[in-house]
Amino acid sequence: MNIHSTELAPADPALTLRPVVPADEAFLLDVYASTRAAEMALVPWTVEQQQAFIAMQFASQQEHYRRKYPAASHHIILDRDRLIGTLYVARMELEIRIVDLTLLPAERNRGIGTFLLKRLQEEAACAGKLLKIFVEDFNPSLRLFERLGFAPVEQEGIHLLLEWSRSAV
């Protein structure tokens, strides 16, 4: 079953996706903030300053995604009825671009990211498309992508463009 459907796969009926709605804004901000927590621990700012910075960066990121990938699907990842992360995917003519895949810290390293990525790989293989994602070269998830057969094809500053194709497997 395709990753963009509501049910991910019969093998794991507890995991589902649903489209983001305006009421999800606070959760989306929390997920984003979780990706910046280590960085925020290093700055000598007040909690209010950190929150303002995170909110500004989040708004900028979301606007960038909307402009660059206007037809992308943006979903909440649920484990049963618990919100555990977000998945933003742009399906284009020649590729499927993973714009963002983020799980809350407590949900990481449980196989959920692997499960979702393998479903996207199946979708890309069936559609005859490449599967791509930008990852920071220091991001721990880089090892996961490499394990799943993604390879770097381009570097823009600290960002690596990783690509997976059925033919590379």
State residue 10's pLDDT score.
Answer: 40
- 9 within some domain: no
State residue 166's pLDDT score.
Answer: 81
- 159 within some domain: yes
Which domain range does residue 50 map to?
15-168
Q: What CA–CA distance (Å, rounded) separates 69 from 65?
A: 6
State residue 165's pLDDT score.
Answer: 87
- 10 within some domain: no
- 28 within some domain: yes
- 103 within some domain: yes
Q: What CA–CA distance (Å, rounded) separates 129 from 55?
A: 35
Query: What is the tens place of the pLDDT at every residue in 3-21?
Result: 444 444 444 568 999 999 9
Identity (one letter) of the amino acid at 40?
M
- 7 within some domain: no
- 40 within some domain: yes
- The structural domain count of the chain equals 1
What are the tokens at 80? Answer: 């049963």
E strands in 12-144: 15-19, 73-79, 82-91, 95-103, 130-136
Q: What CA–CA distance (Å, rounded) separates 13 from 21?
A: 22
For the domain that residue 120 is a member of, what is the CATH number? 3.40.630.30
- 8 within some domain: no
Spans of the chain, pLDDT less than 70: 1-13, 168-169
Residue 12's SS3 state is: coil
